[in-house]
Every structure is written in structure tokens, then in C-alpha cells.
Amino acid sequence: MNFNFFEKQTSRRDMLRGSVTLAGSAFLAHLFSSTSLGASAASYAQTAPSPADLLANMRAKFNASPVQTQKLADNVTMLSGPGGSVVVLNGPDGKFVVDTFVAPAWPKLKEALDGLGNAPLKYVIDTHWHFDHADNNAPLHAAGATVLAHENTKKRMSEPHDLPALYRGADGALAGLHFDPSPAEALPQETFAASYKLQANGETLALQHFAPAHTDTDIYVHFQKANVIQMGDVFFNGMYPYIDPGTGGTITGNIAACDEILSLAGNSTKIVPGHGPLGNKADLTKFRDMLVTARDRVQKLKSAGKSAQEAVAEKPFADLDPVWGEGIINSDQFVQVVYLVL
């Protein structure tokens, strides 16, 4: 995917304004076919979907992925597919669900949860505020779950967010996105500031807030007995990540968050990313080292006075692309993201 969403040369302030609510991911790249990307500005203007249609298209793209199930421990299951990774602790004390997929995936998520047994839903935990991780809070709450998250997640979900324009160079701008505040029934009913513990089904769930990393709302969930750590979008396994500048994300903070988990994890720890396959300590180490390399290279270009587009032209990640560049974000996009979150 070669859709460069920061392709218009602009200042840091303008870039920040234009990327405030990318919703924590560069998944907008998936919304547009090669036909639409090749259209002229005039033809695009005639066919431009509304922000509501764009968001619906985004959710539909996610929902096209099937739900895949992977057992991580006797009572811990990973569901992956329409919007990243969901982890479920299941047992006689009920189901404890971490992250929730996108809204159209609710029937598939419900079917997967029902397939784990008849225990009632007890808690839903959001790893951060982005819609692809919190979209199904409301139906899960209606089904009996208490929604739990960091206090900043509730704050961000309570606010409107706008993406005024998405530039693709000389052909003009793709229409922006608008995110309304989440309805009251989707907001967390319980929040915490630093850490929180739940004990159920013979397991201890330790929740810990990261300093700003992917966003300022990120937490990890440590299933201590099962030796499983769910990191949300602080970890994209095997692909360049998106780091959200509009809600506090920084690349140095993301590196620090990886270091925090690396100090906690052992060689047999299962590490669940926000996107990508199940990982381990070696995978997270590779991701962390890539972030350090990317930060240092872009910082050198920025300190030399290069603009974001000039930094892109230098192709600083050419040697990284064979491993990291085939995911959600391509190389040019990631250069600009790093430039923005230094």
C-alpha cells in the first residue's frame, strides 16, 4: 500500500493539525482502492464520500477479516482479526475481555465469546482509546460487563475528534474524518490513574499505565499466572507502527514502554501485540530496536534542517523495509510519523 497520508509538504503544526484523529492507526490507507488513488482531484471532488461514509468504510475493511482463535493458556484465549487482538480470560468467575474489535464485528465477537462457554461477561478492559480497540464497549456492557480503562481513555472517548484533510500530493486532499464523542454506554464505568488489579478464575490481571507512548491512554495487561502480556498498540509485531501525535504519542515514549515490558517478560512470555501475530520477547526486542534505529535516523535528518518531505526523499528506512514495510504503514508514511512524534 503506497498511500502517503502526509504527502503534502507542510509544517509540523499543520501536520499535527491534519493528523490529530487518525484514530491511532494509519488504517486510512486501507480505505482507498488503487482506482480512487489514481483519480484526479476533480473526479475525486465529485465522488468524495462523507466523513461518516469513510468511517463506515474503515470499519467494514476491518470487519472483512475473520476471527481467529489461539489458546494461550488453559483459560486464556487470543482472538485476532477485525481490529487487532482481543484476549479473553474465561472461567467460573466469568469472562474478562481485553479490547473489543470494530463495531461491525460484534456478531462475530459475540459468537467467539459464546463459544468459550456459558460464564457471564464480567469485565471489558480497553488497552487505549482508539475505536478499533473500544468499538464494542457498549454491546459488551449491555451484555453485563463493566468497562474498565485508564482515566485518559474515558477522557479521549468523551471528546470529538476531527481529521480535517488527508493529503495525497498534487491530486489534492481526500475527505477528512469526524469522530463524535462515544455514547455514554460505551464509556468506561471504572477508571484508574496508575495501576489496577483484578483476581478471577485463579488468575491475577495486573493493569499498568504506560507513560505516553502510542497515545497518552495506553495500558498493558499482565496475566501473571498464564505468563501473558497484552500491550495494545504499543507493539505492532512485524510491521511499522502508527504513533498518535494528536493524543500524546511519542516515539521515545514508545521505546520506553517496550523497555518496560522487556524488563518484565521472560523468554517464555507470550506477548500480544495490538496488531500482528502473537509475539515473544525476541519479537518485541526486534521491534524496539527498529524504533530506536528509526528515531535516530530521522532525528539526524530533522536536526540537519530537513523538512518531513526531504526526510522521506532520503529513504532512511530502505534497509528496514523488507522486514517492516509490508504492513499497515509503508516506509514513506513511517518516516513522516516518526518526524512528527520526535
The one-letter amino acid code at 250 reads T
| Helix intervals (H) in 174-324 | 251-264, 281-303, 308-313, 321-324
Checking if the pLDDT of 119 tops 50, the result is yes
Task: Find cell 509540523 and name the residue.
Answer: 12
Per-position DSSP letters for 134-180, written without gaps between them: HTTHHHHHHTTPEEEEEHHHHHHHTS-EEEEEEE-GGG-EEEEEEEP
C-beta of residue 271 within 8 angstroms of C-beta of residue 278: yes
The one-letter amino acid code at 342 reads L
| Per-residue pLDDT reduced to its tens digit, 24-45 | 334 444 333 333 333 444 444 4
Model confidence at 114, pLDDT cuts 50, 70, 90, reads very high
Q: What is the mean pLDDT of residues 195-203?
A: 98
* Torsion angle, alpha carbons of 55, 57, 60, 62, to 10: -70
Q: What is the mean pLDDT of residues 7-25?
A: 36
C-beta of residue 161 within 8 angstroms of C-beta of residue 20: yes
Alpha carbon distances (Å) from 32 to 12, 35, 107, 131, 327: 25, 8, 26, 19, 16
Lowest mean pLDDT among 25-39, 66-80, 81-95, 282-296: 25-39
Interatomic CA distance for residues 97 and 200, integer angstroms: 12
Collapse the DSSP code of 230 into the 3-class scheme (helix H, G, I; strand E, B; otherwise coil) and give the result: strand
φ, ψ at 321 (rounded to 5°): -60, -40
Q: What is the mean pLDDT of residues 77-105?
A: 97
Interatomic CA distance for residues 122 and 140, integer angstroms: 9
| Per-residue pLDDT reduced to its tens digit, 134-151 | 999 999 999 999 999 999
| Per-residue pLDDT reduced to its tens digit, 226-281 | 999 999 999 999 999 989 888 999 999 999 999 999 999 999 999 999 999 999 99
Name the pairing type of β-strands 228-230 and 270-272.
parallel
Q: What is the mean pLDDT of residues 1-15?
A: 35
Q: What is the mean pLDDT of residues 303-317?
A: 95
Interatomic CA distance for residues 56 and 112, integer angstroms: 23
pLDDT at 177: 63
Model confidence at 10, pLDDT cuts 50, 70, 90, reads very low
Q: What is the mean pLDDT of residues 47-57?
A: 76
